[in-house]
Amino acid sequence: MENTEGTSRLEGRVIHVIFENEDTGYTVFEVESGGEYYEVAGVVGQVHIGESVVAHGSFESHPTYGEQFRAVACETSVPQAVQDILAYLSAGVLPYIGPATAKKLVARFGEKTLDVIAQEPRRLTDIKGISGEKALRISEEFKKMFGAREVVAWLARFGVSAPRAMAVYNAFGPHTLEALTQNPYLLCGEPLQMRFALADSIAAELQMSGENKLRVWAALLYVLRHNAGNGHTCLPRRRLTATTGQFIGVEAQAVEEHLDGALEAGELKSQQMAGGEYIYLPELLSAEEDIAARLADLACRQPTVPPDLERNIRVLERSRGMEYAPLQRQAIRTALTSNVLVLTGGPGTGKTTTVNAILALFENQADRVALCAPTGRAAKRLSELTGHKASTIHRLLEVDYSGGVLHFIHNEKNLLRCDVIILDEMSMVDVKLFQSLLAALKRGCRIIMVGDADQLPSVGPGNILGEVICSGVVPTVCLTQIFRQAASSLIVANAHRIVTGQIPETGGREDDFFFLKAGGMACQQLICDLVAARLPRSYGFDPVRDIQVLCPTKMGPSGTRQLNLRLQEMLNPPSIGKDELKAGEQIFRVGDKVMQVRNDYDIPFEREGGESGVGAFNGDIGIVLEVNTSQRSLKVRMDDRILVYTAEHLNELETAYAVTIHKSQGSEFPAVVLPVSEVPEKLCYRNLLYTGVTRAKKLCILAGSGATVQKMVENVRQNLRYSGLGELLMRAMPGGEPGHES
């Protein structure tokens, strides 16, 4: 055993494999070295009894299992000595070979046994019981086992961790190395989406640099995918070529030529819009075209109009002891006499009352109504407000992730049985998800889209609510009247002041909205004091479950990164007997508030009552229930689901005492603390502040600079999103202009 620069080197022979996860490569095994026995654990890929290993890492004291060698890398070689080869094969690592057959093979081929298996499998038929078919299967499995290890070792040269290398191997299989040496840019494409710089560094070693076609095509796709992550479904041609050329240091003219080739090959798609030529990823153009065609069909088709509608509305008013406002009545009437409706409006304008009326009238005529929302929290809130069961869109469509690819059980071949869909928080829905929902609706199904057009658009690509409203194709009712009960809330009043360009009022002792002045580190300290002490003491709020800090930015003293570190230290510090797990720069402890930061359809969960499934979604918030340090896993409760996060999924979790306003969409919290100190210029805009304020149910506190608040209110710039949905929707209507695609 050696030690260099803080990293130890453990060399020996594998004598026992204790635990192994084939998908992640996390393995626990026992090594004999110089007559001593050591337990080794880490993401190192598969190891087998009898193999020689060189593990690099350090010794750690595990609270349950005692001293372990925590390996960060592991080099293995096949057994060389006859007795080691016999032990290796006798362990059952290869199909059709048990202890008895292993003895026969070693007796026949000696030290050359493993070479024969790898290179001359037909010679295995010399052994009684091994047919030609079995020999080939044995050889393929042997090469597959060592193929994964070769990939891990090869990618390690470029700084790729073992877990990521295993993901690469799982994506491309036994021919991974061959595929990557021919086209290393596969790494930054689907499904891996690794960094372009990584693929570029490998390509440079393989002499694939400069204006190489594979490089430029990959860069074009990468730029479009990156911008899809920022919400754009397409980019203007000039912007795409200029950005790509700057990104990889290639002249724009060369990028233009390669773009034409990518369009001819169908790798990318083009659309002529009013503003010029726009370039799409094929799947995003398909999504926008499908949405446009289906919404246009709904808007054009003659609906079934219920008899005595006006009388039924009056009866509903009398039964509920109220009278609907003119715009509410218009929305109710339009919902019952049209196939599609957009219902929008700010807080306190009666959207929920209107939705409940629409729901009651559809149920009175025996229509089957499904209620859904993009996130679990939004669905739970919709259920509470209507008194009817509501689900996430994913749960309504039923996720199927078999084969590692996302599918929905309900689709165009297995339609939903509902007659009406009411979809809340429409501003959050991205184009791919909405495409899937529309595809699963039967032809006569009506759809009512409910949302607030002044909130931030979806995290995913598209701006469906804004584009649909601007197209003028779909019947739209915007509620504007603030009702008396809501008018008493300064949260509601200030939300409307913000959206109309007025500075919010600061509030008094009895109000539900306050502004507290502070800057820099003083603002950070104020926020921590509010969350940890002042608000729980004054209002009885639970600091973890009831109070949410919503930040415009991740950076700076009042950004999510520093605030999460401080708040975790104050609200859930380390203590004896409390397990914790370090994953990258994050530390997770039992009791931590955490958030899922990207969609992942492969994380298993269970619901109370025994129902199980898979899937965790961007923005889901939960509490860590259990930390398993030996298996490097967490158990997390998110609403009604308990999810198990294994090692490969830990990078998808972040502590969530403070989250960005963008990540809070579709959620409401009893109390919101919103830092407005030192907000970057690009994030000083109105609908970001508006979205943060409207997440608060009972109390909202702005902490920071009045000048920053004023700057945000006065900046009406919306987040520009490139999308062709509005124009495609207008074209899809009878008499609309045909599109031009290449």
Q: What is the pLDDT of residues 105-148, one digit of tens each?
A: 999 999 899 889 888 989 999 998 899 899 998 888 887 777 77
Instruction: Specify the DSSP element, H or E, that contains 600.
Output: strand 600-607
**Alpha-carbon span 28 to 446, nearest angstrom:** 55
**Higher pLDDT among residues 230 and 1, named by residue:** 230
Could you give the CA distance from residue 584 to residue 586 in angstroms, rounded to a whole number?
Answer: 6
Top pLDDT among 71 and 338 is at 338
Q: 173 pLDDT exceeds 70?
A: yes
- pLDDT tens digits, 198-243: 999 999 989 887 889 999 999 999 999 999 988 999 999 999 999 9
Would you place residue 515 in the very low, low, confident or very high pLDDT band (cuts 50, 70, 90)? Answer: very high
**Which residue did the predictor score with more confidence, 727 or 85?**
727
**pLDDT score for 617:** 80
> Is the model more confident about 616 or about 700?
700
- 147 versus 56: the higher-pLDDT residue is 56
How does strand 407-408 pair with strand 633-638? unpaired
- With residue 470 as reference, give the H or E element that holds it: helix 464-471
Q: Lowest-pLDDT range, 285-299, 368-382, 671-685, 710-724?
A: 710-724
Beta partners for residue 616, in sequence order? 600
Are the beta carbons of 371 and 383 closer than 8 angstroms?
Answer: yes
pLDDT of residue 711 exceeding 60, the answer is yes
Q: Is the pLDDT of residue 740 over 70?
A: no
499: phi then psi, degrees, rounded to nearest 5: -70, -20
Least confident span in 75-84, 317-326, 569-578: 75-84
Question: Bigger pLDDT: 284 or 166?
Answer: 284
> Comparing C-alpha atoms, which of 378, 437, 410, 423 is closest to residue 620?
378
Identify which of 211, 220, 147, 210 has the alpha carbon closest to the alpha carbon of residue 180.
147
Instruction: Tell me the pairing of strands 621-628 and 612-616.
Output: unpaired
For 705, phi then psi, to 5°, come to -110, 130
**At 7, which helix (H) or strand (E)?**
strand 7-20
Q: DSSP code of 530?
A: I
Q: Torsion over CA of 441, 468, 268 and 273, rounded to 10 degrees?
A: 140
421 bridge partner residues: 370, 447
Contact, 332 vs 358, CB < 8 A?
Answer: yes
Q: Flag whether pLDDT at 601 surpasses 90.
A: no
**Percent of the chain's residues with pLDDT above 90:** 54
In the predicted model, is pLDDT for residue 277 greater than 70?
yes
Cα-based angle 126, 129, 130 (whole degrees, multiple of 5): 60
Stronger pLDDT, 654 or 488, i.e. the higher one? 654
Host H or E run for residue 370: strand 369-373
Region of poorest pLDDT, from 171-175, 403-407, 456-460, 530-534: 403-407
- Angle at which helices 706-714 and 686-693 pack, to 10 degrees? 110
In the chain, the N- to C-terminal Cα span, in Å, equals 63
What are residue 184's phi and psi, to 5 degrees? -65, -15
435 or 86: which leads in pLDDT = 435
Q: List, for residues 485-503, the tens digit of each pLDDT value.
A: 666 889 999 999 998 999 9
Q: Which H helix or E strand runs over 625?
A: strand 621-628
> Is the predicted pLDDT of residue 742 greater than 50, yes or no?
no
CB contact at 8 A, 69 and 57? yes
Which is more confident, 585 or 445? 445
Is the per-residue pLDDT at 648 higher than 80? no
> Strand, helix or coil at 636?
strand
Tell me how far apart the alpha carbons of residues 98 and 104 are, in angstroms, rounded to a whole number: 10
Given pLDDT bands bounded at 50, 70 and 90, which one contains residue 567? very high
CB 650 within 8 A of CB 571: no
Among the listed residues 232, 87, 139, the one whose alpha carbon sits nearest the alpha carbon of residue 721? 232
Minimum mean pLDDT range among 62-66, 239-243, 368-372: 62-66
Confidence (pLDDT) at 5? 53
Lowest mean pLDDT of 10-24, 305-319, 358-372, 555-569, name the range. 10-24
59-68 average pLDDT score: 75
25-34, 46-55, 506-515, 648-657: least confidently modelled range: 46-55
Of residues 457 and 726, the one with the higher pLDDT is: 726
For the ranges 65-69, 288-292, 558-562, 720-724, which has the lowest average pLDDT?
65-69
Q: Which amino acid makes up residue 437?
A: L
Q: How far apart are CA 240 and CA 245, in angstroms?
A: 8
Q: What is the largest CA-CA distance in the chain?
A: 94
3-state secondary structure of 334: helix
Q: How far apart are CA 578 and CA 676, in angstroms?
A: 35
